[in-house]
C-alpha cells in the first residue's frame, strides 16, 4: 500500500473524530440553549405566582415581551457589543463589532469557534442569557410600574448596559484579563439584574399599603403552585445555564458543574428552611423556594471550580441569607414583591465572593481583590446606568401607575384583561 494514501486516510480518520467531537459540543450547547430558554417560563410563573391576582396578566405580558425584545436587540446590536473582535478590543472597556450578525465566510455551516461550536450556536446561547437580566428587574418592580416605560428601560438595559459589562468579563475585556472569575454569571447576569432592580425599586417606591404606620403588611402570593412551577423550571434550566457555560461537552467539567449546581440548590433549600424556621417558627414555602434560587445564584460563579462539599456550603449560606435579606429589605422599606433583590443581588454578590473563598483556580484567578473589583465595577456601572434611565423616564413620561390603577390592578389598567375569568358558568 502506498504510504501517501495511508497518510491521507489517517488524516481523514483524525478529522472524522474531530468532527464527531464538534457535533457533540455543538449539540450540547444547543440543548443548553433550550434549557436556558425555558428559564423564561420559570421567571414568568415564579413572578406571576408571587404577585396579586389583579396583576398577573401584566407580569406575564412583561415576561413575554422581555424575551422577545431581548433576542431581537441582542441580534441587532447586543451580541456584537458583548463579543466584539478580541484582536481589536482585548482588555478594553468598550467594543463594537457592527450591527446584526457577521458569521464567518462559510455561512450557515459556520467554522469551528475555538474548535467547539458554530457562530449561530454561540449567538443563540448567549442571546438566551441576555434577556434574563430584565426578567429579574421585572419581578422587583411588579404591581406598580407602568408598562411602556418598563419596556423602554428593558430595551436599553439589555441592548446597552448588559452587553458592555458582559464584554468586560466574558468578551475579553479588562476584567477578563484582570483575574476576575464569574463562571456563568453570579455577577454578570444575576447581580446585574439585581442592581437594575434596586435602581427601579428606589425610584418607584413601595406598593401602596405595604409599609403602614402599623407596620409592614404582608401581601401574600396569589398562587404558590405557579411559583413552585417557576422554581422547578428555573432549577431545570439552570443545568443549561451553568452546564452550557462550560462552552463544550467536556465530560468531567460539565458533570462536576451539574453536581455542584444541584447540591448548592438543595443546600439552599435546607438553609432557608432552617433560617426561616429559626426566625419565624414556621415552614415557609416561599422562603424555601427563594432559598433554592439563592443556592443556584450562589453557585453560578464557581460551579466549575469548587469541590461538591464547598458547593453545599455555598448553597447553605445562600439559603440562610435569604430570609435575613428579605426581612432587611423590608425594614429599609425597599419593596420587592418577589424577593428578587435577595436572590439575585445579594446571593449574586455572595457567589462571586465565594469564588475567592472556595475556588480551586490558579494564577491568581478569582482572588478577593479581583472579585471585589469586578463586583464593584459592574455594580457601579449598572446601578448608575439603570438609575439614570429610570430617572429620566420618571421625569418625562412617568414610571408609576396612578393610585387608582394600582388599586384596581394593572391587568385592567394596562391590558383591559383579567387573568382568571369565570367565563359563563
Instruction: Report the site for its own copies in 278-317 (rule: CB under 8 A).
Output: 282-286, 288-289, 292, 308-309, 312
Grid cell, residue 177, equals 484579563
Question: How near is the Cβ of 20 to its own copies at its closest, in Å?
Answer: 4
Range 369-375 contact pairs with CB under 8 angstroms and sequence separation of 24 or more: 369/179, 370/178, 370/179, 370/180, 370/181, 371/180, 371/181, 373/175, 373/178, 373/180, 374/168, 374/169, 374/175, 374/178, 374/180, 374/182, 374/187, 375/187, 375/191, 375/349
Site for its own copies in 97-136 (CB under 8 A): 100-101, 106-110, 117-121, 123-124, 127
Nearest Cα residue to 124 out of 245, 30, 21, 243 = 30
Segment contacting its own copies (CB under 8 A): 19-27, 80-88, 162-170, 171-179? Answer: 19-27
Q: Is 274 in the site for its own copies (CB under 8 A)?
A: no
Task: Check residue 229 for interaction with its own copies (CB under 8 A).
Answer: yes
Smallest distance, its own copies to C-beta of residue 239, A = 5
Stretch that binds its own copies, among 4-12, 82-90, 323-331, 348-356 (CB under 8 A): 4-12
| Residue whose CB is less far from its own copies, 83 or 89 | 83
Residue 273's nearest CA partner among 346, 323, 313, 226 is 323
Q: How many helices (H) and strands (E) does the chain have?
A: 18, 2
- Which one among 255, 369, 396, 402 touches its own copies, defined by CB under 8 A? 255
Q: Return the range that interacts with its own copies (CB under 8 A); candidates 25-33, 166-174, 322-330, 350-358.
A: 25-33
Element (H, E) at 215: strand 215-216
Residue whose cell numbers read 434549557: 35
Residue 223 interacts with its own copies (CB under 8 A): yes or no: yes
Helix (H, G, I), strand (E, B) or coil at 409: coil
Out of 224, 274, 334, 392, point to the residue binding its own copies (CB under 8 A): 224
CA-CA-CA-CA dihedral for 76, 79, 83, 84, to nearest 10: 0
Q: Is 270 in the site for its own copies (CB under 8 A)?
A: yes
Least Å distance, CB 129 to its own copies, is 13
Closest CA to 122 of 86, 79, 156: 79
Residue from 68, 102, 177, 402 in contact with its own copies (CB under 8 A): 68
Give the contact letters, 343-362, x = binds to its own copies (CB under 8 A), - = no: --------------------
- Of residues 160, 219, 365, 372, which one binds its own copies by CB under 8 A? 219
Nearer to its own copies, 93 or 258 (CB): 258
Q: Which of residues 145-204 bind its own copies (CB under 8 A)?
A: 147
Nearer to its own copies, 360 or 396 (CB): 360
- Please, what's the b/e burial string for 72-101 (b: 16 or more CB within 10 A of its CB; e: otherwise)? bbbbebbbbbbbbebeebeebeebbbeeee
Using rule CB under 8 A, residue 91 touches its own copies:
no
Residues pairing with 355 in the sheet: none
Amino acid at each position: 500500500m502506498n504510504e501517501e494514501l495511508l497518510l491521507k486516510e489517517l488524516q481523514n480518520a483524525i478529522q472524522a473524530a474531530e468532527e464527531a467531537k464538534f457535533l457533540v459540543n455543538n449539540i450540547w450547547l444547543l440543548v443548553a440553549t433550550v434549557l436556558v430558554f425555558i428559564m423564561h417560563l420559570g421567571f414568568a410563573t415564579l413572578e406571576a405566582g408571587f404577585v396579586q391576582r389583579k396583576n398577573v396578566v401584566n407580569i406575564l405580558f412583561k415576561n413575554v415581551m422581555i424575551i422577545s425584545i431581548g433576542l431581537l436587540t441582542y441580534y441587532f446590536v447586543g451580541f456584537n457589543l458583548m463579543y466584539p473582535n478580541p484582536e481589536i478590543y482585548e482588555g478594553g472597556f468598550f467594543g463594537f463589532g457592527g450591527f446584526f450578525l457577521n458569521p464567518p465566510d462559510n455561512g450557515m455551516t459556520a467554522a469551528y469557534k475555538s474548535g467547539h461550536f458554530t457562530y449561530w450556536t454561540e449567538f443563540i446561547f448567549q442571546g438566551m442569557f441576555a434577556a434574563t437580566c430584565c426578567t429579574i428587574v421585572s419581578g422587583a418592580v411588579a404591581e406598580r410600574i407602568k408598562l411602556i416605560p418598563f419596556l423602554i428601560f428593558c430595551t436599553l438595559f439589555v441592548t446597552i448596559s448588559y452587553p458592555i459589562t458582559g464584554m468586560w468579563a466574558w468578551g475579553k475585556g479588562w476584567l477578563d484579563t484582570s483575574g476576575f472569575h464569574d463562571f456563568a454569571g453570579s455577577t454578570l447576569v444575576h447581580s446585574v439584574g439585581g442592581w437594575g432592580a434596586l435602581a427601579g425599586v428606589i425610584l418607584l417606591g413601595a406598593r401602596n399599603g405595604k409599609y403602614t404606620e402599623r407596620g409592614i403588611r404582608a401581601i401574600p402570593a396569589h398562587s404558590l403552585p405557579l411559583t413552585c412551577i417557576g422554581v422547578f423550571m428555573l432549577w431545570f434550566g439552570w443545568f443549561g445555564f451553568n452546564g452550557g457555560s462550560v462552552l463544550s461537552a467536556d465530560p468531567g467539567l460539565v458533570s462536576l458543574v451539574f453536581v455542584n449546581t444541584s447540591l448548592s440548590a438543595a443546600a439552599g433549600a435546607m438553609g432557608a428552611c432552617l433560617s426561616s424556621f429559626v426566625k419565624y417558627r414556621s415552614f415557609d414555602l416561599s422562603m424555601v423556594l427563594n432559598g433554592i434560587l439563592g443556592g443556584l445564584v450562589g453557585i453560578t460563579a464557581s460551579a466549575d471550580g469548587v469541590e461538591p462539599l464547598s458547593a453545599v456550603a455555598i448553597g447553605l449560606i445562600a439559603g440562610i441569607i435569604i430570609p435575613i435579606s428579605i426581612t432587611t429589605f423590608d425594614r429599609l422599606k425597599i419593596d420587592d414583591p418577589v424577593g428578587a433583590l435577595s436572590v439575585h443581588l445579594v446571593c449574586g454578590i455572595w457567589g462571586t465572593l465565594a469564588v475567592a473563598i472556595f475556588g480551586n483556580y490558579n494564577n491568581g484567578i478569582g482572588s478577593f481583590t479581583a472579585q471585589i473589583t469586578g463586583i464593584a465595577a459592574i455594580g457601579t456601572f449598572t446601578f448608575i446606568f439603570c438609575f439614570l434611565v429610570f430617572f429620566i423616564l420618571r421625569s418625562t413620561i412617568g414610571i408609576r401607575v396612578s393610585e387608582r390603577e394600582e388599586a384596581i390592578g394593572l391587568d385592567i389598567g394596562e391590558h383591559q384583561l383579567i387573568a382568571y375569568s369565570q367565563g359563563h358558568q
